Amino acid sequence: ERMQAETGTSGFARLGPRHHLWIACEDEQPSQLLGVAQLSMCPLANAHHRGEVQGLMVHSQSRGRGIASRLMSRLECAALAQGRTLLVLDTPAGSQAEAVYAHLGWQRAGEVPDYDASADGQLHSTARYYKRLQMP
């Protein structure tokens, strides 16, 4: 498969200059999306060392192939290249994603109750994770 990075300075200008998106697709069929990851760089004056993973999604038929690991590796390298040494994210508490993030070396910081609402209005908890990055 192939991974392509898009930033606010390229064709995906609507992302903005502080947002980055990685797209994984099949080499043979570039239109077949395998997964995506999105990173936002915190613009606050006291947080230029921090970024937030705003999404990691892998197609259900593509799971178990290391796509999430490769997307997150690219994301982390890009964050480091921009001087970001701390990343944070949230994911639904109790979801399969929690196991993925733990496997990738992320630390669970806690849980926030009633963080997200589903389409029917039901409230759900979210788990907060962080990862400290170091230059190789």
The answer to whether 89 and 101 have CB atoms below 8 angstroms apart is yes
pTM: 0.83
DSSP state of 61: G
Q: How confident is the model at residue 7 (pLDDT cuts 50, 70, 90)?
A: very low
Q: What are the pLDDT digits (tens) for 80-131?
A: 999 999 999 999 999 999 999 999 999 999 999 999 999 999 999 999 999 9
The answer to whether 36 and 25 have CB atoms below 8 angstroms apart is no
